Amino acid sequence: MVVQGLGFVGAVMALVVANAPHEDYVVIGVDLPTHEGKQKVDALNKGVFPIESADPTVEELHEQALDQQNFLATCNEHAYEVADVVVVDVNLDVEKNTDSDRALRGYDVDLSPFKSACRTVAERCPSETLVIVETTVPPGTCRNVVKPIFDETFEKRGLAKTYRLGHSFERVMPGPDYVDSIRNFYRVYAGIDEDSADATRDFLESIIYTDEFPLTRLGSTTASEMTKVLENSYRAMNIAFVQEWTEFAEEVGVNLYEVIEAIRKRPTHRNLMFPGLGVGGYCLTKDPLLASWARSAHGKGDGEAHLPQSETAVEINDRMPRHTFERLQTALDDTVEGKTIVLLGVSYRKDVGDTRYTPAAYLYDLLEEHGAAVKLHDPYVEHWDERDREVRQDLEAVLTEKVDAVVFSTPHTEYEDNAELQRRLHALPDSIVVHDAWGVLSDGEIGALQSTHRVQVSGRGDLHSEQTHSTETDSFPVPSFDSSTTATSSS
Amino acid sequence: MVVQGLGFVGAVMALVVANAPHEDYVVIGVDLPTHEGKQKVDALNKGVFPIESADPTVEELHEQALDQQNFLATCNEHAYEVADVVVVDVNLDVEKNTDSDRALRGYDVDLSPFKSACRTVAERCPSETLVIVETTVPPGTCRNVVKPIFDETFEKRGLAKTYRLGHSFERVMPGPDYVDSIRNFYRVYAGIDEDSADATRDFLESIIYTDEFPLTRLGSTTASEMTKVLENSYRAMNIAFVQEWTEFAEEVGVNLYEVIEAIRKRPTHRNLMFPGLGVGGYCLTKDPLLASWARSAHGKGDGEAHLPQSETAVEINDRMPRHTFERLQTALDDTVEGKTIVLLGVSYRKDVGDTRYTPAAYLYDLLEEHGAAVKLHDPYVEHWDERDREVRQDLEAVLTEKVDAVVFSTPHTEYEDNAELQRRLHALPDSIVVHDAWGVLSDGEIGALQSTHRVQVSGRGDLHSEQTHSTETDSFPVPSFDSSTTATSSS
């Protein structure tokens, strides 16, 4: 069994298959013979998992696989020649064209690297190979891109078209449930024909605990491909939706956390999201655009948004960190120039070291651009590759006398109920600003910071504070409610 | 205890309070002395509930209240003079300004009738009265509109400001759970001060089964008001979101029902909605605009959408029935002129007789406008007031030889697994179009209709049919996927 692509998904997928509960596999993980690819391969063969993870199971599976000697990483493409199963886990990127304010002006989807990866497999794999695409692709790709590549290549090789081709996207979540997000989770699959679908099912049943998490078979690979981009678009939209309400609630002095908590008691409203700094990671930031691109490819002319709500969600999320920047600016007497600002957290998500498309990056850029000195802390990131910046793991190094503002920019568990962190915040000068963009601080912590040290707390902080009704009236003027008023809509 | 306004909410609220489990109330329901108001009052006093309902508990509570002689309806405003508690259940309407294609060009919120209703109470109620606003209002209204009215009126009356004022919105759902949607459901409340909040809580605890459905107290009436419009905006947006995916799925021959079913297995995605004809009723069609209007009142200039995603959701939902119209038109050789089309269902929601803002109305208007003859059937509606049309309750009268298309326009339970309905559909000519806009028909029913009678089924119908992969390829051309392509975004 060969995994193509040893990134966040492929690397852990390889280990899961090497430790499959219902079948014995010999697993070969293949990456490109680039500097980065070779580094990953070397690391994996040495027992060093290339991605920082809060899930101890990753290390266990890795050790077991090396002990069992049924796992090997390589850059050698000959590996595909012995594959019964190939799982495709290569990237498929979207390049966004944005203006200086991060408004989305267009985007490019380049299928070439993905197609080239498929061709490599098609040129070498045995004729009966089962190929399962796990990569998130524009709906229609297996049918309209992958299949033609295999048909054409097999014809050149003089082989009958006896390969099987399935699609079954991953729902991998790096973090404490990294392995469980593969082995213990619902999975959708489809095949290019019945035989392919059956083979895909059999493979998935051998690696996933399907008794507890039954598989869902869909009618076509296009349906399976659409499922992935639709579910991520739904989530992106749910996050984007809360932004305008965050702003409104702040304007009228309402604690949006308590409002959302009240609403989420209703089962029909449980997916409503809390406010945050923004959206990051490899999926939510691009998957809606993959779908929109596929719809545009289907005969709709360019120049219009083909899935407008889903595209708008991406744009709102991309721009969201600007709101935190603006609140910081206001709190710091309207300028961040010359101020020292600490970001607690640079990764895109709680308890992971993944900084790809992290919302902290846009906040960081805005702060730098406006002349602030930014100090970085993250328990999971030692070097922030995308910004080529060292990141500290010791709070002592960042929370010093010279600080003007502290921002909770990633909601790592380590920042919650952390006595040392609280002690260090209390030791800072009274004039500093603490901005909690994620609701990390408890009511008690906020109260203590506000009452004893006159620290200005924003984010969830001031939402959780006592609301005097007079303040509320002040910030929401009476006259504007008089008689009938016409508002103009967005259209 | 006095209920002000005997509409869908007030009428049933009065009966619930008259049958409160934890307190004995004498309930007076008051409506305006208009023709309609007097009709409601007469009906209620005679034991005839003015709203058609699928919930037998309504009738039970009504009978019990009349037996106990603790319920009376009246148009006489003197009723407020004896009130310990007044619950305000009057309407607060939004008037939309739309163009001929239903694009939203603006909207008016006229608070005058609501303010006048509040003034009537303030002028007559005893000085210690507890006033609870249940009406959905722009966030800030209790604080900035209702309180000033009471303060001013009490001053004129020479009374100390000893009234109590709370907000606790209803989550009433007409239909089979009409009564339970009040008595057995989560409830949010807040008061204009601690005393008002306590009194509101005590009242709610006496009428609601709060052991099972605990109350949520919020920090301000503005927070409670925002909770209602936010939760309905969330739902409106979730419905709107699926429309673009419905269109995309139809274009590429994917069964969106199975895709959504697969996604909804994830708890984080369970609120994802299935496709439908559109959105109706009194709440989802306007509540996002009430919020947006309130935000614009708070200092934002006109000419921009103040809650753009929420406003867009309203507009998408308002326009949604056009999609069903267009699919019908295509299926009927590109014109509905001179065709006879049956709408099965005119109410806005499953198993209710409420036709307010029903999406069937826009579909009906488009069909009439384009020269179709429209026949109407609904088990819960005898007369469609908004269109002044009789509606039939017998399938025989509408499903005759002369029919060209049958549309499932409301997903009433009566239409599901209905052997008579299926028999009558099968008896119709082979050429007719059956369009299921809601997923009412089962796979078996669709298969039978398609195979034996060559009836053209759209909506969930053709999504549930066998998908041949060749069709899928045909409808999703290969060349469009070649190489890198740039799509342009909405912004």
Residue A466 has pLDDT above 80, yes or no: no
Q: Give B-chain residues touching A293 at CB under 8 angstroms.
A: 485, 487
Total Cβ atoms within 10 A of residue B8: 24
Return the H-helix or E-strand segment holding B475: helix B469-475
Band of residue A176 on the pLDDT scale cut at 50, 70, 90: confident
pLDDT of the residue at A378: 97
What's the pLDDT tens digit per position in B267-322? 999 999 999 999 999 999 999 999 999 998 754 445 567 899 999 999 999 999 99
Contact B187, B161 (CB under 8 A): no
Give me the torsion for CA of A219, A224, A226, A231, rounded to 10°: 120
pLDDT tens digit sequence for A415-448? 999 999 999 999 998 889 999 999 999 888 988 8
Is A261 in Cβ contact with B223 (below 8 Å)? no
User: How far is Cα A335 from Cα A185, in angstroms, rounded to an integer?
Assistant: 47
Mean pLDDT of chain B: 90
Closest-CA residue of B relative to A217 is B262
Residues 6+ apart with CB under 8 A from B369: none
Q: Do B293 and A226 touch (CB under 8 A)?
A: no
Asked if pLDDT for residue B472 goes beyond 50, the answer is no
8 Å CB contact between B51 and B39: no
> At residue A467, what are phi and psi to the nearest 5 degrees?
-100, 115
CA B449 to chain centre: 32
Mean of the per-residue pLDDT values for chain A?
A: 90
* Cα atoms found within 13 Å of the Cα of residue B105, Cβ hemisphere only: 6
Give ∠ CA B278-B284-B286 in degrees, rounded to 5: 110
The pLDDT, as a whole number, for residue B468 is: 31
Choose between B318 and B466: higher pLDDT.
B318
* pLDDT above 90 as % of chain A: 82
Nearest Cα residue to B242 out of B216, B271, B266, B285: B271
Helix (H, G, I), strand (E, B) or coil at A472: helix
Cα atoms found within 13 Å of the Cα of residue A221, Cβ hemisphere only: 34
- Least confident among A43-57, A72-86, B364-378: A43-57
CA distance linking residue A141 with residue B228, whole number of Å: 42
CB contact under 8 A, A302 and B270: no
Closest-approach residue (CA) in chain A for B241: A309
Residue B301 confidence (pLDDT)? 41
Query: What pLDDT, on the 0 to 100 scale, is given for residue B485?
Result: 31
The lowest-confidence range among A87-96, A415-424, B451-460 is B451-460
Closest to B220 (Cα-Cα) out of B189, B264, B198, B195: B189
Please check the confidence at residue B200 and state whether its pLDDT lies above 50.
Answer: yes
Whether the predicted pLDDT of B469 surpasses 70:
no
Judged against a pLDDT cut of 70, whether residue A407 lies above it is answered with: yes
- Which residues, numbered 151 to 180 in chain B, qualify as contacts with chain A under a Cβ-Cβ cut-off of 8 Å? 171
Spell out where B309-428 has E strands: 340-344, 373-377, 383-384, 389-390, 405-408
What gap in Å lies between CA A385 and CA A383, rounded to an integer?
Answer: 6
Cα separation of B317 and B309, whole Å?
Answer: 12
User: With bands split at pLDDT 50, 70 and 90, how would you rate the model's confidence at B451?
Assistant: confident
* Overall average pLDDT of the B350-369 stretch: 95
∠ at Cα A404 (A402, A405), nearest 5°? Answer: 130
> What does each C-alpha distance from B162 to B125, B154, B363 come to in angstroms?
11, 9, 52
Q: What is the reported pLDDT for B163?
A: 98
Ordered alpha helix ranges (H), A305-358: 308-319, 321-331
Please check the confidence at residue A490 and state whether its pLDDT lies above 80: no
Q: What is the mean pLDDT of residues A207-224?
A: 96
Domain residue ranges in chain A: 2-222, 233-470
Rounded distance between C-alpha atoms, residue B375 and residue B391, angstroms: 8
Length of chain B: 491
Q: Do A106 and A112 touch, CB atoms closer than 8 A?
A: no
Q: How far apart are CA A252 and CA B229, in angstroms?
A: 15
Which residues are CB-neighbours of A177 under 8 A, at least 6 positions away?
A55
Q: Which CATH architecture has domain B320-470?
A: 3-Layer(aba) Sandwich (3.40)
Residues in chain A, total: 491
Supply the pLDDT for residue A459.
65
Q: Which pLDDT does position A296 carry in this prediction?
A: 86
The yes-or-no verdict on residue B489 having pLDDT over 50 is: no
- Check for a shared fold between A2-222 and A233-470: yes
Separation between Cα atoms, residue A214 and residue A205, nearest integer Å: 9
Largest CA distance in chain A: 82
* Tokens (6 digits) for A434: 């603490």
pLDDT value, residue A302? 55
Cα gap A339→A100, rounded to integer Å = 23
Contact call for residues A309 and B316 (beta carbons, < 8 A): yes
- The yes-or-no verdict on residue A477 having pLDDT over 60 is no
CATH code: domain A233-470 is: 3.40.50.720
On whether any CB of chain B is under 8 Å from the CB of A5, the answer is no
Question: Which residues of A, range 253-312, sit inside 8 Å of B by Cβ?
Answer: 253-255, 258-263, 265-272, 289, 291-299, 302-312
Q: Is the pLDDT reported for residue B473 higher than 60?
A: no
B247 residue type, one letter: E
pLDDT at A483 over 50: no
Domain A2-222 fold? Rossmann fold (3.40.50)
What is the Cα–Cα distance from A51 to B260, expressed in whole angstroms? 32
User: Do the Cβ atoms of B258 and A219 come within 8 Å?
Assistant: yes
Question: For tokens 């002990």, what's the residue?
Answer: A67
Residues of A in contact with B235 (CB under 8 A): 268-269
Q: What is the CATH number of domain B2-229?
A: 3.40.50.720
Among A301-305, A436-440, A465-469, name the one with the lowest average pLDDT.
A465-469
User: Which of A216, A307, A477 is closest, CB to CB, to B248?
Assistant: A307
Contact between B192 and A469 using a beta-carbon 8 Å cutoff: yes
pLDDT of residue A401: 82
Using CA coordinates, name the residue in chain B closest to A237. Answer: B241
pLDDT at B467: 36
How high is the ipTM of this complex?
A: 0.92
Q: In this complex, do A222 and B253 lie within 8 Å of one another by their Cβ atoms?
A: yes
Give the pLDDT band (50/70/90) at residue B481. Answer: very low
Whether B478 has a pLDDT exceeding 50, the answer reads no
| CB of A360 less than 8 A from some CB of B | no
Contact: B258, A477; criterion CB under 8 Å: no
User: Which residues on chain B are in Cβ contact (under 8 Å) with A98?
Assistant: none
Does the beta-carbon distance from A255 to B112 stay under 8 Å? no
Q: Do B477 and A299 touch (CB under 8 A)?
A: yes
A window 368-407, beta carbon within 8 A of B:
none
% residues pLDDT > 70 (chain A) = 91
A254 vs B contacts (CB less than 8 Å): 139, 219-220, 222-223, 226
Contact A489 B311 (CB under 8 A): yes
Question: Within 13 Å, how many C-alpha atoms sit on residue B205's CB side?
Answer: 11
From the centroid of its chain, how far is CA B158? 42
Band (B487; pLDDT cuts 50, 70, 90): very low
Residue of A185, A187, A204, A252 to mutate when probing chain B, most B C-beta within 10 A: A252
Using an 8 Å Cβ cutoff, are B37 and B31 in contact?
A: yes
Residues A339, B159: Cα–Cα separation, whole Å: 55
For tokens 């805005």, what's the residue? A366
In chain B, whose CA is at the least distance from the CA of A101? B491
Do the chains contact at B226 and A487, CB–CB below 8 Å? no
Q: Is the pLDDT of residue B208 over 90?
A: yes
User: What b/e sequence results for A74-109 when a residue is b if at least 16 CB atoms lie within 10 Å of its CB, and e otherwise?
Assistant: bbebebbeebebbbbbbebebebebeeebebebbeb
Q: Identify all chain A residues contacting B169, using CB atoms and an 8 Å cutoff.
A: none
Distance of CA A476 to the CA centre of its chain: 37
